[in-house]
Amino acid sequence: MNGIEVKKDVYWVGVKDWNLKEFHGYSTPNGSTYNSYLIMDDKITLVDGVKAYMSDEMICRVRSLTDFSKIEYVIVNHVEMDHSGNIPVIMKLAPQAKIVTNMAGKSALEAHFDTEGWNFQIIKTGDTLNIGKRTLEFMTTPMLHWPDSMMTYVKEDKLLLSNDGFGQHFACDSIFVKDEPFDVVMQNAKSYYANILFPFGAQAEKALSTAGSLGLDIEMIAPSHGCIWSGEKEVNAILGSYAKWASGQNEGKAVVVYDTMWGATATLAEAVMSVFQDAGIPVVKHCLTVKNVSEVMVDFLDAKYVCVGTPTLNNQLFPRVAGFLAYMKGLAPKNKKGFAFGSYGWKPGVVNQIQQVFTDLGWETVAPFEEKYTPKCDAVSQIKERVREMIA
């Protein structure tokens, strides 16, 4: 378990969590990584930790390069437990080291752990730290996606250690994007943004702007999850994608999300989808019986139109639809047009709960549509007309 050099004397000492299949309700079929980096300089510096249960593996990688007694700085870019879980272990091994973080990071560490005896060095955006041949520059990125979040820039190496920014929940044999199919890595990066950072578009735009105002010349981005972006083409690709996603710019496509009990809502969903197809609008359809909510959310980044359908169960939303709406509302996608539809047996009105979510998100909407039992030809014609009204 040796460290892997990513730049001269800068090493990946992280771990790969091949068995991770779920993260806060977000499906992670490809696992994930918790990337930590060791900078071998006059003042040896460790950047970020890993989940507590994978601490031993990380420690072995660090020890392949140096003894913990020689580490002078431990930079904590973010205190969420997948990055800070083993910080107490690290501080027992390296009690002489200073914790470098921002004020919110210090408060979060104190809330999570017993920090008695830890020596903190508090930084803010624009502050620098000389560690020998290298100068580290810090950029706080509050609410991207926690109040304590920040990034560390290694000036001489043109290396941005970006923590949760630009990452992917993606474990693979390599640690570099260039060694994996680019479209696969980018799709995982898109999924990560859609399910983790979607609510924080304004903060992402601010971070990109701050990086520009600081004049950061970036030729490698090393996040704390997934693969490392290296070279102008890869770096520009992920920076450009973040600029697009953060702006809320979409590609005008439609997403139809539904669940069904006896096929009535599925029939309505097919009718809804057909209107977009006839209008030449790209459309995808997701049945929640087979699709995880996190898979659905990826398509929201490109969508202008969102249609959500539900059957009625015990005078309530169907459970998987209710769960999806709770998950989606928390991610707070903006600038969409919404349409609620569904079916019922003896009491109508449950689609109004979907409509309320759209209203809470500030979306444009058309009137909801619901049909009793099996939709007949006239009902199919009516729901199609409602969708045409939506896209007019």
Which of the following is catalytic: 80, 110, 219, 270? 80
Residue among 11, 192, 193, 327 flagged as catalytic: 192
Residue 110 tokens, joined:
């104190």
| 192 catalytic per annotation | yes
Q: Which of 48, 164, 234, 299 is catalytic?
A: 164
Question: Tokens 């202008």 map to which residue?
Answer: 304
Is 225 considered catalytic here? yes
- Annotated active-site residue 169? The verdict is no
Asked if 112 is an active-site residue, the reply is: no
Nearest to 105 by CA among 56, 152, 39, 42: 152
Q: Helical H runs in 137-282?
A: 182-192, 201-213, 232-247, 264-278
DSSP 118-174: PEEEE--TT-EEE-SS-EEEEEE-TTSSSTT-EEEEEGGGTEEEEETTT--S---S-
- Contact residues for 15 (Cβ-Cβ < 8 A; gap 6+): 33, 34, 36, 50, 51, 54, 57, 58, 61
Count, residues in the chain: 392
- Residue in 17, 37, 78, 305 annotated catalytic: 78
User: Of the residues 24, 114, 373, 389, which is catalytic?
Assistant: 24
Of the residues 41, 225, 242, 370, only one is catalytic, namely 225
User: Is residue 78 annotated as a catalytic residue, yes or no?
Assistant: yes
| Structural contact between residues 61 and 3, judged by C-beta atoms closer than 8 angstroms | yes
Residue 321 Cα distances to 39, 305, 330, angstroms: 47, 17, 14
Residue 32, CA distances (Å) to 26, 223, 291 in order: 12, 12, 20
> Is 179 labeled as catalytic in the residue annotation?
no
- So which residues are the catalytic ones? 24, 78, 80, 82, 145, 164, 192, 225
